[in-house]
Chain A
Amino acid sequence: MKSLHAQNKPLASPENQLEWLAKGSFADGTWPSFSQRLSKMNHWPLKARPLEIFQVNLGYMCNQVCRHCHVDAGPDRQEIMTRETMQLCLDAIAHSGAHTLDLTGGAPEMNPDFRWFVEEAARIGVRDFIVRCNLTIIVANKKYHDLPSFFAQHRIHVVSSLPYYDIEKTDRQRGEGVFKKSIEALKMLNAVGYGMPGSDLHLDLVYNPSGAFLPNNQMGMEADFKQALSRDFGIQFNQLFSITNMPISRYLEYLIASDNYEDYMDLLVQSFNPAAVEHVMCRNMISVGWDGMLYDCDFNQMLELKPAVSAKHISEFQSKAWNERDIVVASHCYGCTAGAGSSCQGTTTHAE
């Protein structure tokens, strides 16, 4: 399977995605736009809060081609952050006020300067690291086999996608053989202490639905995952994050191709939860693209929605302006406010 980009599919273009997301029931007024919905609850414009999470996308290259991927990542993507841009990120982090460096991709570990970046960030005082690890990268090649030890050495918080605790749903979403490799990688992470009782090495899993429906109660799913993974494979982990699939990129294409687009968007709009707005992730984060461009979140990055600040590139980053900006929103934002809410850290409300 190739990325939408490699296939020259129309939905590889952010403009075409935004066009899809603006038409139909949004265009004829059946559904309120996200900004209209926020206005109704006096939350428009959506204001940022002081920066806490500095999320850097190290590149769109990935060893997997997941059907729901909002990045359209895959082995054929060549966009990779250079060491020079990483240095600009380090310069910005130092005076940003952010306490957490969150590394994502693609598979961030495939960036040849991934380890250099982590080591340099640690050297300038970053203590809280998150790596969004797809698990299979650990067993994809011998050169990645020591990643669990590297993660442990820097006390990196590992957050990994595992859409379900059985082979069928996982492989259908993430590719054939992914479940088996993920289990192997989880055992390697457990072996160095990740997710083990009493260990301070955190291993969290991410559940996202394998289809056109919303995720369930996060705590209930976590109990199911823990029971099944422990019983079947002896695997331990800390928390499960439930994440809603965003109607962009490959997941948007799936929704349209399977004739689920209207119903799914209706579900997101009807499930709008005002309480989830309070803690949407864009309010206390920055998303830096592989080329150093700045965005409100990883989803806005993929849609190339530029932030409402004059500094558009990491080389021009200004902490004060960033913390006071209005956040750019569009229809896809309903994905973060549906039901119990959704963010990179799972649900955003406790009213589950």
Chain B
Amino acid sequence: MEQSYYDPKDLKKFGNIGEWDKALADKFFAWYGDVFAEGALTAREKAIIALAVSHTVQCPYCIDAYTADCLQKGVSNEGMMEAIHVAAAIRGGSSLVHGVQMMNKVQKLSM
């Protein structure tokens, strides 16, 4: 049994998912590549979004990959931290905004 669920080396094996279903993997990686290409958003803007989302889904592989990608693309440390705060604010805000639902329910159930 492995001592940890995550091994940084596994990130480099991502492409291996194609070994058991090449057709779907090929579609995924082709789509993935297109998603991150320069478009209406720059590749750098997409890397910052990816970094924020990585923290939201708490994927260690994604955090490693997009931290390195943001550094390479010249995003400042402050910029990366601000992106994570955006992710955290949405996560926190999404919990808090449900407080309205709680309040609605309390009001409905209360005399």
Chain A neighbourhood of B71, CB < 8 A: 209, 211, 213
Near B by CB (< 8 A), chain A positions 210-231 give 211, 213-217, 220-221, 224
B: which residues have CB within 8 A of A?
A: 12, 42-44, 68, 71-74, 76-77
Closest to B64 in A: A263
Near B by CB (< 8 A), chain A positions 172-221 give 209, 211, 213-217, 220-221
Partner of A221, one of B43, B74, B76: B74
Q: Apart from A166-B76, A216-B72, A216-B73, what 17 extra A-B contacts exist at CB < 8 Å?
A: A168-B77, A209-B72, A211-B71, A213-B68, A213-B71, A214-B72, A215-B72, A216-B74, A217-B43, A217-B73, A220-B42, A220-B44, A220-B73, A220-B74, A221-B74, A224-B74, A266-B12
Q: What is the minimal beta-carbon distance from B35 to any residue of chain A, in angstroms? A: 18
Some 23 contacts from A to B, beta carbons below 8 A apart, are A166-B76, A168-B77, A209-B71, A209-B72, A211-B71, A213-B68, A213-B71, A213-B72, A214-B72, A215-B72, A216-B44, A216-B72, A216-B73, A216-B74, A217-B43, A217-B73, A220-B42, A220-B44, A220-B73, A220-B74, A221-B74, A224-B74, A266-B12
CA–CA, A53 and B72, complex, Å: 30
A: which residues have CB within 8 A of B?
A: 166, 168, 209, 211, 213-217, 220-221, 224, 266
CA–CA, A213 and B74, complex, Å: 11
Chain B facing A: main interface SS: helix
Chain A facing B: main interface SS: loop
Q: What is the minimal beta-carbon distance from A338 to any residue of chain B, in angstroms? A: 11
Closest to A207 in B: B74
Chain A neighbourhood of B44, CB < 8 A: 216, 220
Closest to B42 in A: A220
Q: What is the minimal beta-carbon distance from B26 to any residue of chain A, in angstroms? A: 19
Which 6 pairs of residues, A with B, have the shortest CB-CB distance? A213-B72, A216-B73, A213-B71, A216-B72, A213-B68, A216-B74
CA–CA, A293 and B77, complex, Å: 43
Chain B neighbourhood of A224, CB < 8 A: 74
